[in-house]
């Protein structure tokens, strides 16, 4: 028996509790609180740093190059805040937190 549906944090439509993307608005990570990409502690929209590990939550958007809060999407251009490793053998999708891929150490930008 499926669990109770929960509201998508972006469009408020009720979706299954195991959804990775919202079937209504198409956005990734539609459930639960925003989490720090380093320690997975819940973070508050607009915070400058993670309250647990101190990671800066201000990042440069890979598309528009503006500084934005580290959520799933840029506050300015609505681009999903991820970069893909250029190494064809890796191609890991990851948050834009460092100059190097977390898996293979290839330079990202």
The total of other beta-carbon atoms located within 10 Å of residue 41's CB is 13
The total of other beta-carbon atoms located within 10 Å of residue 40's CB is 11
84, containing H or E segment: strand 83-84
Q: Are 25 and 8 in contact (CB under 8 A)?
A: yes
Predicted confidence at residue 32, as pLDDT, reads 81
Strands 58-60 vs 14-15: parallel, antiparallel or unpaired = unpaired
- Report residue 11 as tokens: 């469009």
pLDDT tens-place values along the chain, 109 residues long:
467 899 998 899 999 998 989 999 999 889 988 888 888 899 988 899 999 999 899 988 889 999 999 888 999 999 998 889 999 999 998 888 888 988 999 998 7
Q: pTM of the prediction? A: 0.70
């Amino acid at each position: 028996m499926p669990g109770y549906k929960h509201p998508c944090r972006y469009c408020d439509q009720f979706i299954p509790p195991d959804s990775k993307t919202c079937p209504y608005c198409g956005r990734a990570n539609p459930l639960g609180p925003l989490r720090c990409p380093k320690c997975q502690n819940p973070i508050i929209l607009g915070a400058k740093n993670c309250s647990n590990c101190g990671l800066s939550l201000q990042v440069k958007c890979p598309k528009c190059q503006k500084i934005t809060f580290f959520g799933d999407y840029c506050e300015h251009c609505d681009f999903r805040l991820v970069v893909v490793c250029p190494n064809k053998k890796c191609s890991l999708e990851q948050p834009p937190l460092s100059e190097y891929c977390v898996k293979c150490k290839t330079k990202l930008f």
